[in-house]
């Protein structure tokens, strides 16, 4: 553990060399990086913290924003005496890492983002709207935690009963589940079971993603209109389903303050068919696919003048589903 101003942060450390910080996704812990820690520690000092509200890190019941999560990373670095580090983030770890790179660029040597978002939210991902409905997400997590973990990581068909949730019973598109042995599933079920984790999970989406409609001016510039939690509740409760609501015809923006910022250092984006389906054909990466051309993909490309992109054929949980492929990509980027 390391103590920051307001958190005791649990982390793993291994290796020697330049510092690399691995930021895990939701609903996971630093355990998701076990294959990358051993591999990268051959060349780097690797740090893998549990994010605020997860794993063994403190879980204060306060409002959680991207600003707060980025500050957690900086204070983690300060407590360890790290003036600068490379950040690698998956899912929510990527959202956090991106915010650090935008607001504290002098502290970041380079950044790798894995199947994540930067400023815009993929319209089909309804849990960001659902989590803003009062009490619904907390009720789901408290009653269906084990089933939800089994669905996420093992492809088990869940029984949610009458609890409302945006997670369909079918397996995730393209997901590979052979990585999820009994040890991994037991870890995630145990780690996700505390009510304080349910609170943090709800906060990440309810307060951490303030949604804005995106509109284009006559000059082609984007402007933003905050819709608030009530607007997201209306989206979720649309009679024909949230995907039919006109506000999600284009991806909503949760980070308008970062739209015109750039990070002019090496950057990497690794994607799966779930987030970039156009980058794959019959399950295989499209050779030479150029990310961009729609507002969500543009939000990945725009901030990074030195962006490299790589595709990996698996599901969303790339560090665990395809560790060897990801390790090879990280070697290419970091070494």
C-beta neighbour count of 290 within 10 angstroms: 10
Beta bridge partners of 281: 284
Q: What pLDDT is recorded for position 218?
A: 85
**Ordered DSSP codes for 151-212:** HHHH-PPP--TT---S--SSPPTT---TT--HHHHHHHHHHH-SHHHHHHHHHHHHTT---E
Task: Provide the pLDDT for residue 222.
Answer: 86
pLDDT surpassing 90 at residue 271: yes
Q: What is the mean pLDDT of residues 228-234?
A: 97
Taking the C-alpha atoms of residue 90 and residue 321, their distance in angstroms, rounded to an integer, is 13
pLDDT higher than 90, residue 142: yes
Q: Count of CB atoms within 10 A of residue 150's CB? A: 19
Average pLDDT, the chain: 97
d(CA 57, CA 64): 14
pTM over the 0.85 mark: yes
Domains of the chain, CATH where assigned: 2-120+261-334 (3.40.50.1820), 127-248 (no CATH)
In the prediction, which pLDDT does 244 show?
Answer: 97
**Worst-scoring range by mean pLDDT, 167-176, 284-293, 295-304, 314-323?**
167-176
- The rounded percent of the chain whose pLDDT value lies above 70 is 100
Whether the predicted pLDDT of 44 surpasses 90: yes
- Mean local confidence (pLDDT), 153-178: 91
pLDDT reading at 217 higher than 90: no
- Quote the radius of gyration of the chain (alpha carbons, Å): 19
The DSSP string of 290-332 is ---SSHHHHHHHTT-TTEEEEE-SS-S-HHHHSHHHHHHHHHH
């Amino acid at each position: 553990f390391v103590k920051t101003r307001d958190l005791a942060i649990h982390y793993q450390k291994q290796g020697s060399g330049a510092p690399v910080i691995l930021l895990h996704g939701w609903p996971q812990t630093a355990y998701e990086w076990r294959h990358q820690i051993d591999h990268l520690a051959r060349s780097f000092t690797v740090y893998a913290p549990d994010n605020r509200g997860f794993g063994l890190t403190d879980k204060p019941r306060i409002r959680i924003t991207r600003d707060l999560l980025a500050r957690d990373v900086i204070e983690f670095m300060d407590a360890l005496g790290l003036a600068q580090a490379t950040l690698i983030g998956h899912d929510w770890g990527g959202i956090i890492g991106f915010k650090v790179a935008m607001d504290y660029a002098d502290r970041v040597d380079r950044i790798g983002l894995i199947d994540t978002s930067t400023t815009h939210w993929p319209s089909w991902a309804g849990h960001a709207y659902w989590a803003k409905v009062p009490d619904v997400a907390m009720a789901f997590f408290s009653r269906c935690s084990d089933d939800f973990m089994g669905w996420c990581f093992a492809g088990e068909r869940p029984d949610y009963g009458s609890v409302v949730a945006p997670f369909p019973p079918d397996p995730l598109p393209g997901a590979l589940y052979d990585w999820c042995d009994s040890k991994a599933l037991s870890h995630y079920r145990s780690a996700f079971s505390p009510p304080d984790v349910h609170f943090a999970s709800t906060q990440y989406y309810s307060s951490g993603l303030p949604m804005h409609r995106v509109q284009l001016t006559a000059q082609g510039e984007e402007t933003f209109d905050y819709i608030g939690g009530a607007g997201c509740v209306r989206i979720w409760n649309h009679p024909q389903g949230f995907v039919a609501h006109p506000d999600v015809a284009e991806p909503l923006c949760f980070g308008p303050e970062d739209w015109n910022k750039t990070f002019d250092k090496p950057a990497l984006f690794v994607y799966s068919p779930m987030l970039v389906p156009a980058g794959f054909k019959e399950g295989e990466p499209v050779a030479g696919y150029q990310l961009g051309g729609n507002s969500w993909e543009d939000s990945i490309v725009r901030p990074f003048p030195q962006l490299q992109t790589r595709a990996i054929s698996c599901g969303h949980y790339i560090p665990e589903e395809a560790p060897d492929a990801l390790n090879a990509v990280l070697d290419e980027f970091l070494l």
